[in-house]
Amino acid sequence: MLKGIATRLLEETGIKINGPNPWDITVHDERLYGRVLRYKSLGLGEAYMDSWWDCQQVDEFMCRILKSSIDRRFKGSLLLFLKAIPAIMFNMQSRDRAHIVAEHHYDLDNELFLSMLDPYIQYSCAYFKNTDDLKEAQINKLELICRKFNLCKDDYVLDIGSGWGGFARYAAERYGCSVVGVNVSKEQVAFAREFCRGLPVEFRLCDYRDITGAYDKIVSVGMFEHVGRKNYRTFMKKVHKLLKKDGIFLLHTIGNNISKRTSDPWLSKYIFPHGELPSIAQIARAAEGFFVIEDWHNLGPHYDRTLMFWHANFVDAWPRLKERHDERFRRMWEYYLLSCAGAFRARNIQVWQIVMTTQGTPQPVCRV
């Protein structure tokens, strides 16, 4: 019965169970249907990790599922609702909890990320304008940011959530400015300090709520997804306080088409604990009264391509990485990269670069 229901639903998306197309799924364990019915996206992802099903193109499978919206036909289970209550009721991204995602994900294995990413170690959406090369596309993204907030040699720049130091290094090398990077990941900060040695760059291991100083330009790339809706206003207030008069703030974040109170349960459990994707409305409400929004640029389709490059690099590096990670990890990481690529391809989620200034600041020229 459950298999029949799944078959009919999937056929609406052009997906067949045990079919011939690369986006069709091959089911190895019939318990899959009950698991997905009960646990929804969490069950689907965990079943893939457990080798209960396979698909040649998980990215296209996920794209078709999301474009068809069949995932919205079923209300979440009581068990998933109960698990979501803490995220709804409490601040899961408080100062005391900010380190959790760093320890779970960003401190995981530098070799894993280095083998997957570009030379500037950009773990965010690239910009494939006039190129099909990941390295060039990531340089395009870095240069795009620098142009959008008119980076100059004399600028004192704050990078909130500075990763492995790639933006700081690029900005210091290419523009000669001074950069302060702030991060809660011990591994990333240690690496970034070596990566930027000899440049006018400083890295601080601290939460964004504890940042001090005054800055000409502030940038945050791929960090706002960890702030949480209960802290969006706090984040904007802090940035406003840190930004000098006539300064410019650029926010680069993945975003959701609708406002939500919870995140995808599989991604939250296995990849980004307590991550939340903001909506346009949530960002606008948080910025209201603090900033003038000067430019809002959607780069979403570029993240599909970025993730597919990362997956190809991960596959190439796996013979080395498997000495430290088991097969279940490989399937988890593969599912993470490919399912996210499918979500961007379906236009289910977006990537935004938002340029903001304080009231009274001359309008910057946002050169795309």
Residue for token pair 């680069």: 252
The SS3 of residue 190 is: helix
What is the C-alpha to C-alpha distance for residues 306 and 118, in angstroms, rounded to an integer? Answer: 10
Query: Are the beta carbons of 112 and 126 closer than 8 angstroms?
Result: no
DSSP string, 217-270: EEEEES-GGGT-GGGHHHHHHHHHHHEEEEEEEEEEEEEESS--SS--HHHHHH
Return the axis-axis angle of helices 78-89 and 32-49, rounded to nearest 10°.
50
Quick check: is 55 catalytic? no
Query: Are the beta carbons of 162 and 168 closer than 8 angstroms?
Result: yes
DSSP 19: -
CA atoms within 13 A on the CB side of 147: 9
Beta strand residue intervals within the chain, DSSP E: 25-27, 53-55, 156-160, 178-183, 201-205, 215-221, 243-256, 292-298, 349-357
What is the C-alpha to C-alpha distance for residues 222 and 345, in angstroms, rounded to an integer? Answer: 19
> Which pair of structure tokens corresponds to residue 258?
């609708």
Q: Which of 247, 341, 259 is nearest to 303 (CA)?
A: 341
55, 146, 177, 340: the catalytic one is: 340
Query: Are the beta carbons of 291 and 236 closer than 8 angstroms?
Result: yes
Query: Are the beta carbons of 235 and 291 closer than 8 angstroms?
Result: no
The SS3 of residue 277 is: coil
3-state DSSP of 148-166: HCCCCCCCEEEEECCCCCH
Query: Are the beta carbons of 216 and 155 closer than 8 angstroms?
Result: yes
* Residues annotated catalytic, as ranges: 340
